[in-house]
Amino acid sequence: MTTAKDLFIIAMDPGSKPSVGQGDLSLALAGAELIDLIEAGAVTVDGDRVVPGAPPALDDGLLSEAEAGLARQAPHERIEDWLWRRGRDLSAAYQTALEEAGELTRKRDGRLPFGPERVEPADTPARRRATERWEEREPVLAALAAVVGIDGERSEDESDLDDEAVTTVVAVVHDAVMELEAVRQRRSIENSAFANLWRGP
């Protein structure tokens, strides 16, 4: 399992409060993939740029897809641009992949057989591994989870991270999530103003 899959499992856990928005989670998943690629030696970070290295042997389909999509020509892609490009609908891609692998299960809310469905992690070794990393507050997983608001407020404190490139990625993920939240708030204000216009005095 990868950091991205562990993060997705933690985010889907019924005990995770509050629930994480798909946009926020997609950006964090893209960041987690980039961190996994850094740790695999597939990329390095030069300032705010993602510099691909020699393609490594990766045993994860989504991570291999991420590596194959790296911009290999100079000037290389900015981390922020990578997050927005790779992160598009990424949470849905992880949900599909994990459901197909039997790592997620669908359950009905409430006692009614026709109640709304929810998706949550199945009791598998992968879930137990993700939970163990989470309970140990593994620095990378904890930092990315904090960015999307799992287990407390979003935080910019990456003091437990001992790798400069990883710290940079987490900081850029945080900024991207903040930018997405600002867009949401602006749209909410615009929609409210539009509704008031139609409602009249």
Cβ density class 102-133: b for 16+ within 10 Å, e for less: ebbeeeeeeeeeeeeeeeebbebebbeebbeb
Residue appearing with tokens 């990578």: 82
191 pLDDT tier (thresholds 50, 70, 90): low
Q: What is the pLDDT of residues 8-18, one digit of tens each?
A: 999 988 766 55
pTM recorded for the entire structure: 0.84
Do strands 104-108 and 117-121 pair parallel, antiparallel, or not at all (unpaired)? antiparallel
Q: What is the percent of the chain with per-residue pLDDT over 90, rounded to a whole number?
A: 59
What is the average pLDDT score of the chain? Answer: 85
Residue appearing with tokens 């904090």: 146
Structure token pair of residue 5: 């899959």
How many CB atoms are closer than 10 A to CB 6?
25
User: For residue 196, what pLDDT is reported?
Assistant: 60
